[in-house]
Structure 1
Amino acid sequence: MNHCLLEVDVLEAPQVRYTQDNQTPVAEMAVQLDGLRPDDPPGQLKVVGWGNLAQDLQNRVQVGQRLMIEGRLRMNTVTRPDGVKEKRAEFTLSRLHPLVAGSAPSMAPSMAPPPATRSVPPVASPAPASGRPAPRPVPRAAAAAEAEPPTWNASPLVPDLPETDDEIPF
């Protein structure tokens, strides 16, 4: 499966053009990504967004902005003016996540950290007009203890077997 998630800096403002057949918007921009090691030079990449993503790129992205981009990576063969064929990477955008300075990218709701609990005692609500007593609110500390984040099974996928045992029959 070809799925990439990259943190990049925008080098060129997105340029929007339209296809000839059905006038679908296509946006292209150049981005820069950091090298893997501190001494590696930064890499450059062409990013292409289609349809509504093209409009989003045009309206929301500016030069110098830091983005988290999600999509597919592919290699294109391009003929240079001197006749030499060259391969260049192209990134087809599927999602765009703007980054705010000093913050992490937005997480899915199930992966978001639990909200901070306050030490303010809950306010007692008045008894309803039906004459029955109002249900007691659950203290915030008890509710937070019940809603603990899920724990992940980190055991290996392949069970450890003694050296004499072999699961493969041949």
Structure 2
Amino acid sequence: MNSCVLMAEIVKDPELRFMQDGQTAIAEMTVQFPAFRAEDPMEMLKVVGWGNLAQQIQEQFHTGDQVVMEGRLNMVLVDRPEGFKEKRAEFTVGRIHRVQADLNAPRIANNPAATMAAPAQPKAVAPAAPKAPAAPATPAASKPPAPSPSDYEPNYDDIPF
């Protein structure tokens, strides 16, 4: 299964267009992310979103936004003016999340069953205070403490081969 997660910065505002049927929306934008080596230039990648997600991307994301995207990485052939075809990477986004400190801003997640409504924000719940363990009425036989992970030594003689 081709599944990727990418953290990047939007460098070109999303452009919204529609398929010939006039109903299927497509949003295209360009993002950049750091190369593997520090001395290499930033990598650029075309990102495509479809349907309701495309409209949400165009409305809510702009140049300079830091995003985390989940989706598929594809290779597409592009006709060059020089007369040959070039392979380029293209990211088809399935979910997109803004990277930010503001927890009240909306997030976008595309689900096949999802509608245009924004997902509900989780409510903060304070953890319940742990109850103190009840002391036994009579002293029980003490068990030896379980070995800690650092004390554990595997017994390789139990391996059947």
Q: CA deviation at 1:38?
A: 1.9
1:100 aligns with 2:88: no
Q: How big is each residue's C-alpha offset from its partner over 1:7-65, in whole Å with a ceiling of 9 and x where there is no partner?
A: 01001000000011252110000100111232232111100000111111111101011
Which residue in 2 is equivalent to 1:65? 65
Q: CA deviation at 1:85?
A: 1.6
Q: How big is each residue's C-alpha offset from its partner over 1:65-88, in whole Å with a ceiling of 9 and x where there is no partner?
A: 100011000100112111122110
2:17 alignment partner, SS class: strand
Q: CA deviation at 1:101?
A: 5.0
Q: Matches of 1:37 and 1:102 in 2, distance apart?
A: 31
Give 5+ residue unaligned stretches, structure 1: 107-111, 118-139, 146-158
Q: Matches of 2:156 and 2:55 in 1, distance apart?
A: 56
1:55 alignment partner, SS class: helix
TM-score (norm 1): 0.62
Q: Superposed, which structure 2 residues align to 1:1-170 within 5 Å?
A: 1-101=1-101, 140-142=128-130, 165-166=160-161
Q: Matches of 2:155 and 2:126 in 1, distance apart?
A: 40
Give 5+ residue unaligned stretches, structure 2: 108-121, 134-153
**Where is the strand percentage greater, Structure 1 or Structure 2?**
2
2:13 alignment partner, SS class: coil
Q: CA deviation at 1:102?
A: 9.2
Q: Matches of 2:155 and 2:82 in 1, distance apart?
A: 58
Q: Matches of 1:85 and 1:17 in 2, distance apart?
A: 24
Q: Matches of 1:76 and 1:17 in 2, distance apart?
A: 19
Matching residue's letter, 1:83: G
Structure 1 residues 116 and 31: alpha-carbon distance in aligned structure 2, compared to 1, 3 A threshold: same
Structure 1 residues 161 and 2: alpha-carbon distance in aligned structure 2, compared to 1, 3 A threshold: farther
Q: Matches of 1:116 and 1:37 in 2, distance apart?
A: 43
Structure 1 stretches of at least 4 aligned residues deviating more than 4 Å after TM superposition? 114-117, 159-162
Identical-residue share of aligned pairs (%): 45
Q: CA deviation at 1:116?
A: 6.7
Matching residue's letter, 1:62: H
Q: Matches of 2:126 and 2:39 in 1, distance apart?
A: 40
Matching residue's letter, 1:78: V
RMSD (Å), alpha carbons:
3.0
